[in-house]
Amino acid sequence: MKKERLPHLLTLAVLLALVLGACAPAATPTPAPPPPPTKEEAKPTQPPAKEAWSLAKAAEPWKGETLRLIGEALPPLEALEKLKSQFEEQTGVKVVIEGLGHEEAVEKVTLDFAGQTGIYDVVLQPHRAIGKLVDAGWVRPIDEFYNDPNLRDPNFSFEENILNQEWFRETCTYNDKIYALPFHFISMYLWYRYDWFEHPDEKAAFKAKYGYDLPSPPVTWKEYRDVAEFFTRKSGETLAGEVLDHDVYGHTWSGARHVSTWYDYLNILYAFGGRDIELPENRGDRYGKVTVNSDIAVEALQTIIDLLPYAPPGTLRYTWDEKQAAQQSGLVAMAIQWDDATFAVEDPEQSTAAGKIAYSGVPIGREKMTQIEGWSYFIPNSAKKPGLSWLFIQWAMGKDVQIAQMKLGGESGLRSTYDDPEVANIPYVPTAVYLKTGGKLVLKVREEGAPNGVGVPRRYLEAVNPKTGDTSVTIVAKPKWPEEEKYTEAIILYVNRALTGELTPKQALDELAVELEKILPK
């Protein structure tokens, strides 16, 4: 029996092995090695490209909001008003620009800051106010915005493009920290009617009376005095071949109890080689010795008084507005005025003298000089949208905007603006740039007899600076410490008292010196 079952068991075992083998998975073949990568595939993977900076993207958080700016109502601000739509279109932000008179703009900003009402996102203020603004903690340094990659356009930089670094230091920094960017650099210079100065009849008459050629322009104070006397005429007399229907005067001056009188006095004081105060290193944030009652200062003030007979009646009530109106209406032969007002005098719709004026420097005494001045863009500490404030300032400082603003009446502080040939050909621009660069940059030269007023007059260009012995222009800083406002008001008061005859120049300046010593820190 056992012998019969054995073959059957073997057969079952073989069948079971076959079935199990059929159910097992087939063996996986060994894969072939992959081909080597191509050169392109071998390169490391690049991260996704970063989105390029844009004004529209940076301003997105403020889209639909309003930015408010305040400044002085003069051609540069009027030009910005005409250009602001470009910023609005790119950002979706509405821009409101408020223009006021010089003193009103300063007063309204002071009230806003003192009350911390935060009405304004950007303020334009004269640089002499910077010490007060910083000392009170009213304005912010710009580095927090300039160093923020979300706010700073990577293509924007200003450091190497400033027209004059000393001018920038005085108008935008305090104790070496940058608190602003320049809305404009401005200077004062001589506006003169070249069509009168270069008329053959006037040249012959002047030579006969004074024994030397009629200077076009006058570059010394003696020449200025002679020319002022010479061009003072009565109605019915002849001037440049025409019979006058109104009186004409040789020059005009600011004599009112107004900040313009301070500026005018500084022009002649500095040109005579004097100073109201000796500022160490020519820095407005430094204190020094009061010298406003020096013999030179008295001489300068007396010279203004001696020139008053050749100025229009009412000059003692004149500010820069009346001076400009006198020039625009053909009432005067010359005036020392600001270059940020020149756009209006060259506008034929506003001025009968348009196209008849040329521009020279302040007449030379012991110095060939110009005084530093400028209004600057500040971001208030009380601003509710400081990032947006920065974006607007950065946009306004851009090359294309600066050029466009110049063509509409601006006074750019950037060197690249003046590379534009149309800007360089604006009549008043070459002299302004020459002065602001200390006599280093000459865009165009005006020769006597030229058919227009474009260019630095050759007589002034070649005039020697007695202080340096060359033809350079001395750039003079003015005080900008926190006490500046009271300091300036005192000078205005005492200069006006001398001009009106209430005090002699010596009495006025001696009393003024005492007052200034009281104002300044010991």
Can you read off the two tokens belonging to residue 330? 């053909």
- Domain membership of residue 200 (yes or no) is yes
Q: Average pLDDT in the 182-197 region?
A: 97
Q: Give, as one character, the DSSP assignment of residue 267.
A: H
- Domain membership of residue 62 (yes or no) is yes
Same structural domain, 298 and 381: no
Range of the domain at 326: 188-371+436-519
Q: What is the pLDDT of residues 103-113, one digit of tens each?
A: 999 999 999 99
Q: What is the torsional sign of CA 256, 260, 261, 264?
A: negative
CB atoms within 10 A of CB 190: 24
Q: How confident is the model at residue 51 (pLDDT cuts 50, 70, 90)?
A: confident
In the predicted structure, residue 386 carries a pLDDT above the cut 50: yes
Alpha carbons 372 and 432: distance in angstroms, whole number: 12
Q: At which residue do the structure tokens 């200025």 appear?
A: 224
CB atoms within 10 A of CB 405: 25
Helix (H, G, I), strand (E, B) or coil at 314: coil
Q: How confident is the model at residue 216 (pLDDT cuts 50, 70, 90)?
A: very high
- What would the DSSP string read from start to end of 330-358? T-BSEEEEEGGGHHHHT-TTT-TTTTSEE
Same structural domain, 275 and 127: no
- Domain membership of residue 428 (yes or no) is no
Which pLDDT score is estimated for 11? 39
Same structural domain, 356 and 477: yes
Same structural domain, 210 and 169: no
Q: What is the torsional sign of CA 242, 243, 247, 249?
A: positive
Paired with 338 in beta bridges are: 188
Alpha carbons 201 and 303: distance in angstroms, whole number: 29
In the predicted structure, residue 516 carries a pLDDT above the cut 60: yes
Read off the CATH number of the domain in which 401 is found.
3.40.190.10
Which pLDDT score is estimated for 32? 52
Same structural domain, 176 and 214: no
Same structural domain, 213 and 329: yes
**CA distance between the termini of the chain:** 137
- Domain membership of residue 5 (yes or no) is no
- What would the DSSP string read from start to end of 185-208? EE-EEEEEEHHHHT-HHHHHHHHH
Same structural domain, 350 and 382: no
Query: Taking the CA of residue 229 as centre, how many other CA atoms within 13 Å lie in the half-sphere pointing to its CB?
Result: 11
Same structural domain, 302 and 338: yes
Q: Which amino acid is at 52?
A: A
Helix (H, G, I), strand (E, B) or coil at 152: coil
C-alpha angle with apex 32: 27 to 38, nearest 5 degrees?
155
Same structural domain, 181 and 297: no
How many residues would you count in the chain?
522
Same structural domain, 303 and 383: no
- What would the DSSP string read from start to end of 451-467? SS--SEEHHHHT---TT
- Domain membership of residue 35 (yes or no) is no
Alpha carbons 148 and 143: distance in angstroms, whole number: 8
Domain count, the chain: 2
Lowest mean pLDDT among 2-11, 191-200, 377-386: 2-11
- Domain membership of residue 328 (yes or no) is yes
Which pLDDT score is estimated for 522? 85
Helix (H, G, I), strand (E, B) or coil at 55: helix
Instruction: Identify which of 56, 176, 186 has the alpha carbon closest to the alpha carbon of residue 124.
Output: 186
In the predicted structure, residue 208 carries a pLDDT above the cut 80: yes
Can you read off the two tokens belonging to residue 328? 């625009």
Q: Give, as one character, the DSSP assignment of residue 231.
A: T
More confident residue, 517 or 13: 517
Decide if 75 contacts 341 (C-beta within 8 A).
yes
- Domain membership of residue 260 (yes or no) is yes
Instruction: Identify which of 488, 486, 375, 476 has the alpha carbon closest to the alpha carbon of residue 435.
Output: 476
Same structural domain, 288 and 252: yes
Q: Looking at 422, 450, 485, which one is the last position of a domain? A: 422
Alpha carbons 498 and 509: distance in angstroms, whole number: 9
Alpha carbons 378 and 369: distance in angstroms, whole number: 28
Q: pTM for this structure?
A: 0.89
Decide if 405 contacts 184 (C-beta within 8 A).
no
Q: Looking at 390, 422, 454, which one is the last position of a domain? A: 422
Our measurement of the distance from residue 483's CA atom to the centroid of its chain's CA atoms, rounded to an integer in Å, reads: 23
Alpha carbons 9 and 3: distance in angstroms, whole number: 11
Can you read off the two tokens belonging to residue 339? 């270059």
Alpha carbons 322 and 117: distance in angstroms, whole number: 34
Q: What is the pLDDT of residues 328-363, one digit of tens each?
A: 999 999 999 999 999 999 999 999 999 999 999 999
Alpha carbons 110 and 115: distance in angstroms, whole number: 8
Instruction: Identify which of 285, 505, 253, 233 has the alpha carbon closest to the alpha carbon of residue 362.
Output: 253
Q: Looking at 363, 396, 422, which one is the last position of a domain? A: 422
Same structural domain, 384 and 329: no
- Domain membership of residue 463 (yes or no) is yes
Between strands 373-378 and 177-178, the pairing is unpaired
